Structure 1
Amino acid sequence: MLFVCYVTIDPENRDESIKRFKQGGIVEPEGVKMIGAWIGLNQQETWSIFEADDAASIMKLFQPWTDLNVHQIAPVMDFSELADYVGR
């Protein structure tokens, strides 16, 4: 299952968020694999794509960051998979 994650970092939390990232990075729990991640040039927004066994695994991934950042997480599917549901 794929998840797209959009994270906003409040300006007052930016330095602490970067510090925490440098100290331990993003620790992927069992069942989660990062496909890709990007940060905006303003260092206050990130986008990432993860493959995970389930939503609970994604929640474990972001739980340590919820005191600093706002996370918007959505399950997604490839367009080729969508075609199976809507017909061709």
Structure 2
Amino acid sequence: MKFIVQWSGLPTAENAVIERFMKTGGQVPEGVTLLGRWHAIGGLHGFAIVEADDIRSIAALALDWGDLLTMSVFPAMTDEDLGAALGKHQTTRRQQG
């Protein structure tokens, strides 16, 4: 399953975030595949798209940086997945109405 991971941090954490990122390369935990990561210019903000089969791996990702960054994680759907869900919803509504 794919997830959108957003993060933000206070300017006071900037040096610690830089140090950790340079040391670890921003590696994700075992069980998580990083599909892409983007960083805002001029602040500790950004987002990544990751994939994992086990929610515990996603929790590990959030915990790895939780002392320095506020993280939000959301399940993500492709256009195709959303289209299929919407089609099923429309069919169900028609059958009920």
Whether these two folds match at TM > 0.5 is: yes
- Cα drift, residue 28 of structure 1: 2.1
Secondary structure of the equivalent of 1:28? Answer: coil
In structure 2, the gaps of 5 or more residues are: 91-97
Q: Does 1:2 align with 2:7?
A: no
> 1:82, 1:53 → 2: CA distance?
19
Report the counterpart of residue 93 of structure 2 in structure 1. Answer: none
1:33-59 Cα offsets, whole Å, 9 max, x none, are 101001111131011100111221111
Report the counterpart of residue 51 of structure 1 in structure 2. Answer: 51
1:13-72 Cα offsets, whole Å, 9 max, x none, are 011101111011223222211010011111310111001112211111221211111001
Q: State the superposition RMSD in angstroms.
A: 1.4
**Higher relative contact order structure (alpha carbons within 8 Å, sequence separation ≥ 6):** 1
Q: How many residues align?
A: 88
Matched AA of 1:55? I
Matched AA of 1:63? L
Q: Is the 8 A contact 1:26 1:61 kept in 2?
A: no
Report the counterpart of residue 13 of structure 1 in structure 2. Answer: 13
Report the counterpart of residue 85 of structure 2 in structure 1. Answer: 85
Q: 1:62 to 1:26 in 2, by over 3 A?
A: farther
Which structure is larger by alpha-carbon Rg, 1 or 2? 2
In structure 1, the gaps of 5 or more residues are: none
**When the two structures are superposed, what TM-score results if normalisation uses the length of structure 1?**
0.90
**When the two structures are superposed, what TM-score results if normalisation uses the length of structure 2?**
0.82
| Residues 19-28 or 69-78, more deviating | 19-28
Q: Which has the higher strand share?
A: 1
